[in-house]
Amino acid sequence: MLSCKQLVNEINDIDNLSFFKRAELRAHLLMCKHCSAYVKHLQYMRDGFKQLFSSITQTDPEQIKKIEEQVLKKFQDNGDKS
């Protein structure tokens, strides 16, 4: 029988696990409310980070354009020198 600690270690790598291993993890989760809580926390965090990321990375197209222009100008200037 899988221990809680093993579950926590293995669930991290869920995408690379075999079908049977995943079934074993799922069976443990059905019986264990602590590990279920842990897994839910991870889900909340994933969703939360997704939201946070999209909210802090709102950009203004004008600002991006300005940076692009500066970058290209620098490139041209250096090219002229060499």
Q: Is 81 in the site for another protein (CB under 8 A)?
A: no
- Which residues does 2 contact at the CB level (< 8 Å), separation at least 6? 10, 24, 25, 28
**Total chain residues near another protein (CB under 8 A):** 40
Closest to another protein by CB, 18 or 78: 78
Q: Is 13 in the site for another protein (CB under 8 A)?
A: yes
- When binding is defined by CB under 8 A, the residue of 18, 22, 57, 62 that contacts another protein is 57
Dist CA 37 CA 22 (whole Å) = 17
Are the C-beta atoms of residues 43 and 71 closer than 8 Å to each other? no
Q: Is 18 in the site for another protein (CB under 8 A)?
A: no
